[in-house]
Structure formats: C-alpha cells, structure tokens
Structure 1
Amino acid sequence: MLLEGKVVLVVGASTGIGADAARLFAEEGAAVMLAARTEKTLADLTDELNAAGHQVGHIATDVAVAADVARAIDTTLARFGRLDGAFNNAGMNQQGRLDEVPEADFDRLMAVNVKGTWLCLREEIRAMRQHGGSIVNTSSIGGYRGNTGLGAYQASKHAVIGLTRTAAHDNGPLGIRVNAVAPGPTETPMLTAWRENDPDGVARRLAAVPLRKAGTTTEVADAAAWLLSDRASQISGVVLPVDGGMTA
C-alpha cells in the first residue's frame, strides 16, 4: 500500500502506461483522478476501478489547453479535497528526420509533450503549495540521447527533463518533489504501431537492450508509484531510467 491515503492525478490515463498506472495506484491505496482526451475510455476505466472498490473519478482533458488542465486540478480538489501526487504521462510520438517533420506536426508535438507538461506542473504546484506533494513526469531514454528519425520527439523529451529538474529546484522549499521516469522500449500501443511499420527496426532496438526485452507498462508504473510514495521522500530532481539497462 505504497500510496495509501493519498490523492493522485494520472494525466494521460486512457491507455498504455497511464491506464496501468491508474490501476496500480488504486491498488496501492490511492484515490485517483484520471485525465485524458478520450471521455469514453476514461469512463470505462473509472467504472472498472470503482467496481473493484477503489475511489476513482475522471475528467476529459487536453493537456495543451490551459483551461482544461486547470479544470482537471479543480475537479480533483472538489472531488477529493486535496492533491498529493501527480503522474504527468500524456504524450505523443513523431517519427521522421528532424528536417523533414512538418511544422504543424512539430508544433502539436511540442504543445502536448512540453507545454502540456509545463501546464500540468503549474497547476499541480498550485494545488500542492500549502502541504507539499510529489510529481512524476514521463520523459524517455530519448531525453538523454539522439537517435535518427525521432528528432522532434527526442527534443521534447529532453525538454521534459529540463522542466523536471528546474521544478525540483524551484519547489523543493515548498516540500514538493519532482522527478521523472525515462522508459526505454515499452510494450505500448506506440511500440505496436512502430513494430507494424518497421519490424526490423524494433528488433534492432530490442537487441540493444541488455535484458533483451521490451519493458511492460506495469514496470514503468511501479517506478512511478515508488517515486510518488513516501519511501522516496529524499528523492527529487531524478530521472529514473526504466529501460532494461539500455542507458548503462
């Protein structure tokens, strides 16, 4: 029961890492608010978790829209009375050489991955300012390094690491910890789509993982749960790879 008695917001909770994080956090004792763009998927997951005896609510949210993010925080406070933790996991991918990415695609990627993370941090910190809390952002091992064909995505994940470290410095005096997880190849819908388009590329990628396998969404959620918990009470400004040793 790592998160017993805590109220945690999961942003990007409709599928993949976010959905399994919501399940795990609820099982670990948290009251959970789910946020993502897809109302129907959120409602189904909320019904599933409430039927299992957990305390879960949801709100449709586009993280690139400031009013949406503020409403998600206000809805959490109205429903549960406080916010103790947040997992900012909303994000999108963009494949292609950096010089070939259409401007509109680049702008949307940055709006979701970078501006969206910043908007979430801003509103979550507002809610935690009086009593402290813990925030975990989702970056990527692409936030540490370059890689052909993923330039815009990797630039955005570098930015998430910068936001994480700066927010940890700015808000440590308030008792707010800010960390990030950096998944390597993980069995998500994003990896499934990549495997369909470039099976050889995915195979080469996995061959470079020392554990010789993709991670699971639950393994990433486990790392986020620990960082959100009081067992990581002296951990802030850290970017934790969940990558099977790929960045070792």
Structure 2
Amino acid sequence: MAQVQDQSQSQSQVRVDLGGKGAIVTGGGSGICLAFVQHLYRAGCNVLICDLGLHREAVAWLDSIGQSGGTTSTNTKTGQSSSASPRVAFLKTDVSDWKQLEQTFEGYASEFGGGVPDVVCPGAGVYEPSFNNFWNDRDDDHYQLLRINLEHPLKMSRIAIRKWVQQRKRGATIVHVSSTGAQKPSMLTPLYGAAKQGVSNFTRGMARLQDLEGIRVVAVAPGPTMSPLMYDHPEALRFVDPDKDKLSTPDEIARGMMAVAFDRDRFPPGTVLEVTHPDRWREVSLLNDPGPGPHAFTSRKEEGMADVYAALDADRKSGSG
C-alpha cells in the first residue's frame, strides 16, 4: 500500500500519497464516509462511492471537483464520465443485499479499468433512534439494522479478502467504522451497540491477516458526530444538548480514519482508534479498557428512555387483555 510521507505534530493530519490507488467506500454518499472519500481523493485515490443515494453535500462536492478537473459519476450503474485522475464514481447500492455487495467490486473494475481496490471501507450504517429499532418492532422477519451495521461490513470484508488473496494482492486495507457505542451499553440503542461491538471484535480478530496475507484490517470508533445521521433526524437530535455536548465533525473522524489506515508504524493491524476530539485520539484496548472519553456522551440520552418505558407499558397492556 502507500507509504506515509509526512505526519505533522497534530494527530489529526496525516499526509499520504495514494496516486494510482483505488478504494470502495460504502456509505460514502454522506457524513463520515463522505469525508473519508474526500480525504482519499485529495491523496490521489480513485474512489467508488456505494450508497443508496448522494446527500446534497455530496452532490455539491462532486460538482465542485468536476469543475476543477476531477470526475464525477452519478449513474446508478458505474458512471460514464472520464477525465484526469483521480476520479470519483457512484454506484447505487443496498448494502443489505449480498449480491449488490459483490457487484461493488464489479462496478469498481468497470469504472477504473479492471483490478481490485487497494482500500475497502464498509462504512454504511444507520442509527437506532432514527431507524427501525429493538423497541418499536417495525422489522418483519429480521433486524435490518443488524444487516446494515454488522452483517454488511463483515460480508464486504470477506468478499474483499477473497478477491485480494485470489489475485495475490498484498498491502490492501479494510477500514471499518465502529463507535464508542461499542464500549458503553445502552438499553435505548441495544442493536446499534451490539453491532458496533461486533465490528470492533471482528477488526481485532482479523489482525493476523497482516502476517498471513498482507491485508491490514483496522477501525475507527467515533463518538457523537454532527452528520446527516444526526441532523437529518430529529429523533436523534433529541438526545443532544448543543450547549453542553461536543459533537465531532465528519472531517475530524475522517482524519482519524486516514491515520489508522495508513500510519502503519504507529497503528498496528487490529487497531480500533477512538476519535472523539480533533487532537486527542485513543486506541481502544481489548482488556481493561478505561472506557471512552467524556466527549463520547450526550447530555439528554437518558430522556430517550421514555420510549423504552412506553414500549414496556404497551407490552403490559397487551398482555392484560
């Protein structure tokens, strides 16, 4: 993979040359993963965004790099634009569909002239208060949140590993998006916490792939972040006090992703890097971890327990008839 060229004293800035490299980023149409796409692009990397759609912020950014010589594609297949490298393309993808996960690699090869990506970030995700959740019983025959937040990153990793091993490609990297929610269990968001804890555990378990096949697997663990998962969903904003709570920006998290992905000397494979502050990062330990920093908590989350109490009350009433 690419070699880190320079790292400033600030933990939030890592410079890396990714010229000639390529990446697949699920969830890259908005938020944290969009910011990661932007960092990859600035480093010279071709990127295939795989998402259900492009947030207005993504559309504006893609328009801006198109005007400055980059390439964008919003075709729901693989895009038709052609211009100077690096390029960014978009493939409409439902990450809960395993066939579509396989097709992301086909789309990458079609868009960028064959081969496999050097970086895979299965970062698409949803948050429990703003999605079908454990307490509202809106899922029919499976928990869709688990398919998106847990099953998809694991399956995407398996596909990537298989393709890299088949092609004898060493030096590739998988960057997962976990959460500080993996470290602090919550009755309000049990599915989200379980999924993110699974992602962290999977990341650590894949550390030996570096020695076996030259494949690096790492993760970032953001705290509360002011992304569309938050500000486009009033039910999630209910738990935040803007005067008290420190919310990270997607760019702050993406800088941590660049560091944990490409600063190989500092962060070993299997690292789960907590990023809740632009200049203070923390490696999450498997055993005897002290827990996330103060910025990982929001002031009003306990107020959301009213929804849990209401669900339990409804259960009692339905059983008393």
**TM over 0.5, yes or no?**
yes
Query: Cα deviations across residues 121-144 of structure 1 (Å, max 9, x unaligned)?
Result: 012212322222011100100011
Q: Cα deviations across residues 156-187 of structure 1 (Å, max 9, x unaligned)? A: 11111122122333454100010111000111
Following the alignment from structure 2 to structure 1, what is the Cα–Cα distance between the partners of residues 148 and 134? 20
Matched, 1:135 2:174: yes
Q: In the alignment, what sits opposite 2:139?
A: 104
Structure 1 gaps, min length 5: none
Aligned length: 241
The structure-2 alpha-carbon separation of the partners of 1:193 and 1:147, relative to structure 1 and needing over 3 Å to count, comes to farther
After superposition, give the CA deviation of every residue in 1:22-69 in whole Å (9 maximum; x if it has no partner): 112101111111111126867775554344333112211111111101
Instruction: Give structure 2 stretches of 5+ with no counterpart.
Output: 1-14, 71-85, 281-290, 294-321
User: 1:247 pairs with 287, 292, 316, which one?
Assistant: 292
Name the CA shift for 1:160/1:77 in 2 (closer, same or farther; >3 Å).
same
Pick one of 114, 117, 124 that aligns with 2:150: 114
Per-residue deviation, 1:109: 0.4
Which amino acid in 2 is paired with 1:117?
A: P
- Give matches, 1:201-240, under 5 Å: 201-203=239-241, 207=244, 213-229=246-262, 231-232=263-264, 235-240=268-273
% identity of equivalent residues? 24
* 1:207-238 deviations in Å (ceiling 9; x for gaps): 4xxxx621110011111122232x32562101
Partner of 1:49: 65
Matched, 1:17 2:32: yes
Compared CA separation, residues 142 and 62, structure 1 to 2 (3 A) = same
Q: Distance in 1 between matches of 2:59 and 2:155?
A: 23
Superposed CA RMSD in Å reads 2.8
**Which of 145, 155, 162 lines up with 1:126 in the alignment?**
162
**Is this contact kept in 2: 1:87–1:224, CA < 8 A?**
no
State TM-score, norm by structure 2: 0.67
What is the DSSP-based 3-state SS (H/G/I as helix, E as strand, rest coil) of the residue aligned with 1:202?
coil
What is residue 155 of structure 1 aligned with on the other side? 194
Q: Corresponding residue for 1:165?
A: 204
Do the aligned residues in 1 keep the contact of 2:226 with 2:249 (CA within 8 Å)?
yes
* CA displacement, residues 51-109 of structure 1 (integer Å, 9 cap, x when unaligned): 4333112211111111101110122133333311122210011129x862416176100
Q: Which has the larger radius of gyration?
A: 2
- Higher helix residue share: 1
Aligned residue in 2 for 1:87: 121
Of structures 1 and 2, the one with the larger relative CO (CA 8 A, separation 6+) is 1
- How many angstroms apart in 2 are the aligned matches of 1:219 and 1:92? 19
Kindly tell me: are residues 131 and 151 of structure 1, through their superposed partners in 2, closer, same or farther at Cα, counting changes over 3 Å? Answer: same
Letter paired with 1:142:
G
**Does residue 185 of the first structure (1) align with residue 199 of the second (2)?**
no
TM-score, normalising length: structure 1? 0.85
**Which of the residues 11, 18, 30 maps onto 1:4?**
18
C-alpha contact (below 8 Å) 1:49/1:55 kept by paired residues = no
Counterpart check, 1:76 vs 2:108:
yes
Answer yes or no: is the 8 Å Cα contact 1:138–1:182 preserved in 2: yes
**Following the alignment from structure 1 to structure 2, what is the Cα–Cα distance between the partners of residues 138 and 192?**
19
Q: Is the 8 A contact 1:10 1:34 kept in 2?
A: yes
| CA distance, structure 1, for counterparts of residue 256 and residue 176 of structure 2 | 11
Check 1:94–1:197 CA distance in 2 against 1; reply closer, same or farther (3 A cut). Answer: closer
